Structure 1
């Protein structure tokens, strides 16, 4: 078994490639030969030792990955050798409301993640992936994909004809764009430059707002919606964008809080939230049941995640650097895992 681990601390200097014994599955477990992995902004937070006291080295990073079943425990049913599956982000959230100890079940911190040639998981935490996806595309689903699905499903599902505002062009944002369009919604996407704007138009966005050219993008959203505002905002920015999101959404609308890439501490003008009856709803990935529901939608509409860059397992630390300096659109993936023959 080959794997990367933050061994003596966090930071890229401490991300070391190691070898170990092949893990063995227990009676209800499945052994996977990993094929690909994908990075999320959260993985940078872990690398920077900013994810709280619960996440400590030694730690195998990354939560999003796909593998092939190569061995099953004697009590496992429903999976067979050769099945291509993803482990769920939350290893203990099957469905319904989140468990009270939600944080303890996350892959990639505090639990070891998927940046390894072989991994063992309980069969109850695995989800088959759609056949039309490549390994790299499938690897983006556990966190980025399910987060986008949850953001469009909670607190109520998006409806045809509604207008959804999506901030950014990362993996969550672009999956949300595809899912929103498949749901019959109108999609407005903000981005940070003309080249990204053109790519997002090609992906089907109804309106693209280049923030580098339009500083007051909330006003642009209101103009595009006849002065009413959008029905739902997928708030991926954080502290520096939340205020504008409250101005862009309609009275009675919903702001789905997902990311905090621009900061953790936000100031809100509360009268705007209170008098316009806005709903602030946070999303943190989702359950195994949500993952399976999303996969049905991906299959029905033949939706494919957007891949920006693929980096080989041998140079996995370069993927973290690529994410920190990301200038493209979509997901950054790691492929060519040791032993993967696909």
Structure 2
């Protein structure tokens, strides 16, 4: 009896092996099954969104845009304007401004389409400094048995084929039914958003869940509204700066190029790159010399760099500052899934996801070791 008691005391006083305490937990079978089920659920949701894009894309776009414009309807309600009337007025004013911007862009585009036959000879005159490198390239091709095709000279630079542009545009362009569905859902969503909020909050039974849902909805509405207002003002500034640069460098139709810069800047990362390529191409074609054609594109690159690295992070603040890798992955995913409108929705949907993560999975204040 005394020996057993001494053995128990010895066991209690003996410290546990540190290697056992530091050993990572073994992954249970249930955790693997749960992970696989979540993966299958995400794949299924992605497949449904891709196959049913004609139905889901207008609805999701209308909900996101309606949430962005909801603060404006709330502001008009303070002046005793009915919610339905304010919804129609806000949607009409928004798309009137968008139509005006598209009108500024469409005029020079139609003009340039009629001048396509003149572009080839102009480019050949501008790029005569590259005749020697191109000749060396064709000689190198000849050494490996790749002779120029029929009708090609030794100094010819073949232009890329664009047969894919029309079918791609037809595939990505929304149909009339999708546009009509978008407008109808947008107006109805803005008009009925307060009742929808109330019904969604009251869906939950306990007080804590209702309070959490209300906080999530308020945070999403505030973040998306601030995002739209801030990004719109910043993009207008970028468009004005681009128009001024184009006017000083004697580019054709500086107002249209400025409007195009403002619209493309709504698309993160890709928009400024596309605008730089457009200014580079227009400048090379229209300018007297090759160096003069690079000035407008260089000026826009400086403006885009200042806006993307200093102005936008400072104004939006750290709370809405999005990780560049997360923005790029979301941009690539939603562009692949839903085309150009998916590109526009990538940042708002990322903001919604971050708000949900912040409220549903809050980070605990724990002291972590430095990595």
TM-score normalized with structure 2 length: 0.22
TM-score normalized with structure 1 length: 0.24
Comparing both structures, which one devotes a greater share of its residues to helix?
2
Comparing both structures, which one devotes a greater share of its residues to strand?
1
Larger radius of gyration: 2
